Structure 1
């Protein structure tokens, strides 16, 4: 043991100066975010006014960024013992006390790293501050660049002094941060002009126009780029929105809101409860909590924008496709914006992608300005990322929250679409009037050969084009119907195929067990029934019509959905009134039509959690009708007149084509489908299909 030369002791972590730039780089992504962090500190200091100046940018030696506020300021003790300690925040108190002293504002800069924003902008910092009721101001200066990155942090000196107030006289308190030796070398070019415009746009939406502090004003100056005392306010543009939705989604997924569009008067829907939770298939209290939502949208054609009173600058900001666009749906917590949500490059709701997939049905990111209002108190499960940019997105609460916002945006888009459908109906009526006038003109000018022939030619050309469009629609409808039904059964096919493979493996190991063989046979039988639904849809079978007993059609549909019905405890029954119903129709087409109605019913029965869920088919051979009913949540009143139009849907990821296709399939056989009263249940949905015997 005397030869043991082991040693022991204690040591301490030491940090190099490069840690400042490393932390700044990871926590602060660009100049706009850096400036925002400094503005947040002013807000936390109970300032009512903060002035941001980017001066002499085109002169590298003289360029600076200055953030000046009239907040409560800091004492020398706070500067030396709190502000100078990295990772320490004077705001880290108990949750019940994390509010500002003067205006009781919830703290925004809670992690104590906002000071790194200054180093992101430039290496040299001069801090001048004067506390309330103080007769002196404190000046601190530091320049990290002169020490080099290998210097230890404790070796970097910051010189300070107190003096009789020279800068903070009016107001007699506050803080000035003046940053020089800027990291970026500014030039008068497109790139840097866009950077300034981006900073202006970001600051203009930093505060919520609804729950942001009404006693907090942001002023921006940038003389090199022609900006002086620019007050940042987006509310002027919001007042010109063509479509507006303002409301709240509570923790049960119920949306209540007011909606209106220019030039109509506001329609108050505040008393109507829209159960969005049905569309995200949950019946529990939502983890994301209650939040407010404000959505403003435009049609981007020049006529609509001019009608809304938008000037050229506002139109340019809305339609911009680069980082200067003001479009997008932003998230706010306690009145302050969370980045990057709503920035042009962060389409967190996938609005543009949905718009590309279905141009007429969705609103793109540059057609909408939105505000989602969160708070620490009401939405504790929506947590900030450690880098202070965005929310933690891999949790259940955020996914729930995003789905609800997407549904609210879809509701606004659907209302917009309904308005546009009404306009198209008027155009169709006007088109029919034109044809009627042409017919009258043809009669009047029958003796004038040239005029008569020209009118006749126009009329024939119109009718020919109309027939061609109808034929194209029928072809597209059949193709879309096949794809839709294939999609409906894809999940069931996949599940049953997995079962088949699993049973097959067991058979190989235990050939003597007949029950396994029976299970495999049952699985294959289900798959065979589902194939019966799809097989008549193949091109070779599409034009064949046959005399079908609707009871047999019901049996085929029930077998196709059998496993789903059993798994979700949904009853599916068939009744006949008077006599049996026989219809001459293509087997595949009627199977598609009824399968779509059943698939819709199953979706809403499951998502709403309807007790004793049931679907019924009531056939009446006397009047050649069939009623398909369910006891689910029913169809919202405001869309009942439009459910057979394309792209109208209240499902989260629905296409809005099912009922449209069903209607067109039945129309091809002179049949009709429409909503009717649900006689068996007070709630629920009933569709009546009226068949015609006059079928080719």
Structure 2
């Protein structure tokens, strides 16, 4: 078929012709509207071009009336400007690769507009454009474009001509209007004699108060933020992100606009109220996922280096993202915390009112999010209102006590294009293309955030004295103390005491039902791990049985094979089949304790068999993580419910595997599961690992519901297991100080129903 096509293409008798794609003129405006999502983004693209031109200052001047079809936007910069060859090669060449071929500006900045479509932003903002530009010591260039010409249905793109003219400097001269514009605002940094002006007339859309709120918010976070105010000590040190003041500033000027808009004029900078976060974590992440971290907290005051933490827990490959720096600022949104913040921002001032508190929350809502800055400039839409690219809000739903929501955080991620080549822009300039680099960046940032969340949790939940701790999760659902107090105060009121007793019975019945529900859900969670094991090993067995049958049939069908040899082959096949059947039987035995049929009295079993079953369930995961599972030597007879014991052991082994796998490949990676019989006839199962252990400051909280030190942990595993052991078996789940292995050792003691 391919040969036929080639022959026809070269057949002289076949009519041929050559042509070219010829775009209509309106394609330019269509591209501008499709690739530039809003007027706000259009202005940001123009500001990026100023940055690439080595400008130190950009002035965005609005001149009213700011209504559709009228008004003006001027974008002034003091960059290096353009001559005619540069104008032709760079500005008029749509999708030029000039910046791709030269990724650094003359001053060494990493350029931002590699795709060459930023100038389409001017077409989106208004119908007419006057571009005035000048390089130092050359003539001034003026370019006029009427974008409405590109809307004609009968015009092709190559039929629309644009004209420019050269002349003596007028705008960018010693006494030109640029001198006046810049000198009024930034006299100290104004570089005379060069720069660019984009004057956009007949606006495509009107500008409202809400538009200016969005614009200033976007511009506030556009460039790399200035160092924030310190809390307890110097926060941003050499251990964290660079602290030099940025060499690029943006100002907004408003002329002939309503009074309600005047407040949006002025330099673009961060709100003073948002410079004293309650918690801050800064750090530098290397290409292997290790981070040098520094943590600061307001109340109680903490300022400490956390040393180097490994944020990447996959030892099979290095992350595709990094190196990068980050700064994560977090606020608590409750009344007391916000009031402390406002009082710190205005010491000696009046007490903040409810309106002040509401205003602070609203401001935080607008600017909250985690932004990404590449080579000092912000990448949209990361950190925009509603852009939860890290999935923080969903993460908080799963663990509301410990996790942070997107509207509590102002974060900054600082990457370099040359050192993070895998993070590629989407064609619409809105975010990065999905891929391993982007996924790994998300995982590393969430792991860093987890370090802050752990410390915030311990600050907000200080350790209680041991006497205040309750035995089981449901012990608090008992009205015994209330009954005793009422009986003492109202000894003759039998009706009241009767009502309390009746309600207490109802509560205890409900507690019992909830305990059974939790037990069933715990079984289901364990069963999920078991199903993975059965599918993995079961498929292997089925494949082996198929091969035994296929090869046995092939050999038995050989006509020249003697009968005696066929008998030997048949016997061998049956023996192999029996071995594989035994493997399947073992898998079914693992599932049996979790069967859905009604369970009677637990049957007598050996603890060693239960431990081996738990190890079998978790063996695949342990092998994947390079962790060795070991069973202790002790063995006892028990009548415990095997499924409930497996639920406890599987959860503890799963935790142990996770933390042991965080150790280096060269370190010991073992988990030991053992059992002992106690003098009071209770039975204690122990799971010990060679992982990093539990830090002292986290030990009081590891059994709290929704507390987890895993980056993606929900924090219910230990809580539910502890409830099963304590409330159903009258025992306890404890973290012991010393165990047989060097890491953490958990002991689950069963007292009732043993």
Q: TM-score, normalised by structure 1?
A: 0.83
Q: CA deviation at 1:221?
A: 4.2
- Distance in 1 of aligned mates of 2:341 and 2:509: 37
| Counterpart selection for 2:267 from 214, 228, 231 | 231
1:322 corresponding residue in structure 2: none
Gapped runs of 5+ residues in structure 1? 320-324
Render the CA deviation track for 1:558-604: whole Å, top value 9, x for unaligned: 34345555676654333357xx5555643322221112222222334
- Distance in 1 of aligned mates of 2:425 and 2:731: 56
1:298 corresponding residue in structure 2: 331
Pairs aligned (count): 664
Q: Aligned pair in 2 of structure 1 residues 230, 547: CA closer, same or farther (>3 Å)?
A: farther
Q: CA deviation at 1:253?
A: 1.8
Q: Aligned pair in 2 of structure 1 residues 651, 490: CA closer, same or farther (>3 Å)?
A: farther
* Aligned 1:2-17 pairs, distance under 5 A: 14-17=22-25
SS in 2 for 1:356: helix
2:179 corresponding residue in structure 1: 169
* Aligned 1:500-519 pairs, distance under 5 A: 502=543, 509=550, 513-514=573-574, 517-518=577-578
- Distance in 2 of aligned mates of 1:421 and 1:10: 76
Q: CA deviation at 1:154?
A: 3.6
- Distance in 2 of aligned mates of 1:444 and 1:679: 47
1:313 corresponding residue in structure 2: 359
| Counterpart selection for 2:214 from 193, 198, 211 | 198
1:42 corresponding residue in structure 2: 50
Does 2:623 match 1:572? no
SS in 2 for 1:380: coil
Task: Compare 142-151 and 605-614 and name the one that shifted more.
Answer: 605-614
* Alignment check: 8 A CA contact 2:663 2:669 kept: no
Q: TM-score, normalised by structure 2?
A: 0.77
| Counterpart selection for 1:142 from 145, 160, 181 | 145
| Counterpart selection for 1:99 from 100, 104, 120 | 104
Q: Aligned pair in 2 of structure 1 residues 215, 614: CA closer, same or farther (>3 Å)?
A: closer
| Counterpart selection for 2:518 from 456, 473, 477 | 477
Q: CA deviation at 1:649?
A: 2.5
2:250 corresponding residue in structure 1: 218
* Aligned 1:20-419 pairs, distance under 5 A: 20-56=28-64, 58-88=66-96, 90-94=98-102, 98-102=103-107, 104-133=108-137, 137-147=140-150, 148-161=152-165, 162-165=167-170, 166-170=176-180, 171=182, 172=192, 173-184=194-205, 186=206, 193-209=209-225, 214-221=246-253, 223-224=257-258, 226=261, 227-234=263-270, 236-271=272-307, 273-278=308-313, 281-309=314-342, 311-319=357-365, 325-394=366-435, 396-419=436-459
- Distance in 1 of aligned mates of 2:15 and 2:650: 80
- Distance in 2 of aligned mates of 1:457 and 1:37: 75
Task: Compare 418-427 and 45-54 and name the one that shifted more.
Answer: 418-427
Q: CA deviation at 1:453?
A: 9.6
Q: CA deviation at 1:205?
A: 0.9
Q: Aligned pair in 2 of structure 1 residues 620, 107: CA closer, same or farther (>3 Å)?
A: same
- Distance in 2 of aligned mates of 1:52 and 1:458: 73
Q: CA deviation at 1:6?
A: 8.4
2:673 corresponding residue in structure 1: 617
Q: CA deviation at 1:656?
A: 2.1
- Distance in 2 of aligned mates of 1:14 and 1:695: 84
- Distance in 2 of aligned mates of 1:327 and 1:200: 14
Task: Compare 365-374 and 210-219 and name the one that shifted more.
Answer: 210-219
| Counterpart selection for 1:552 from 588, 609, 613 | 609
Q: Aligned pair in 2 of structure 1 residues 607, 160: CA closer, same or farther (>3 Å)?
A: same
SS in 1 for 2:265: strand
* Alignment check: 8 A CA contact 1:582 1:621 kept: no
* Alignment check: 8 A CA contact 1:83 1:89 kept: no
- Distance in 2 of aligned mates of 1:440 and 1:428: 19
2:599 corresponding residue in structure 1: 541
Task: Compare 248-257 and 307-316 and name the one that shifted more.
Answer: 307-316
- Distance in 1 of aligned mates of 2:363 and 2:465: 32
* Alignment check: 8 A CA contact 1:129 1:174 kept: yes
* Alignment check: 8 A CA contact 2:251 2:266 kept: yes
Q: CA deviation at 1:142?
A: 0.7
* Alignment check: 8 A CA contact 2:67 2:203 kept: no
Q: CA deviation at 1:651?
A: 3.5
SS in 2 for 1:168: helix
- Distance in 2 of aligned mates of 1:11 and 1:642: 73
* Aligned 1:412-491 pairs, distance under 5 A: 412-422=452-462, 471=512, 474-491=515-532
Render the CA deviation track for 1:439-469: whole Å, top value 9, x for unaligned: 998699669x79x998x79987997798578
* Alignment check: 8 A CA contact 1:52 1:67 kept: yes
- Distance in 1 of aligned mates of 2:71 and 2:197: 16
SS in 2 for 1:541: coil
SS in 1 for 2:293: strand
- Distance in 1 of aligned mates of 2:509 and 2:137: 83
2:237 corresponding residue in structure 1: none
Q: CA deviation at 1:43?
A: 1.3
* Alignment check: 8 A CA contact 1:125 1:142 kept: yes
Gapped runs of 5+ residues in structure 2? 1-10, 171-175, 183-191, 227-241, 343-355, 554-569
Q: Aligned pair in 2 of structure 1 residues 413, 149: CA closer, same or farther (>3 Å)?
A: farther
- Distance in 1 of aligned mates of 2:617 and 2:481: 52
- Distance in 2 of aligned mates of 1:514 and 1:651: 48
SS in 2 for 1:234: coil
* Alignment check: 8 A CA contact 2:398 2:714 kept: no
Render the CA deviation track for 1:222-273: whole Å, top value 9, x for unaligned: 53551442333236344343332222222222233223433221341332x3
Q: Aligned pair in 2 of structure 1 residues 597, 52: CA closer, same or farther (>3 Å)?
A: same
Q: CA deviation at 1:531?
A: 0.7
Q: CA deviation at 1:33?
A: 1.4
Q: Aligned pair in 2 of structure 1 residues 386, 584: CA closer, same or farther (>3 Å)?
A: same
Task: Compare 419-428 and 326-335 and name the one that shifted more.
Answer: 419-428
* Alignment check: 8 A CA contact 2:626 2:661 kept: no
* Alignment check: 8 A CA contact 2:95 2:115 kept: yes
* Alignment check: 8 A CA contact 2:315 2:665 kept: no
* Alignment check: 8 A CA contact 2:662 2:691 kept: no
Q: CA deviation at 1:412?
A: 3.0
* Alignment check: 8 A CA contact 1:248 1:293 kept: yes
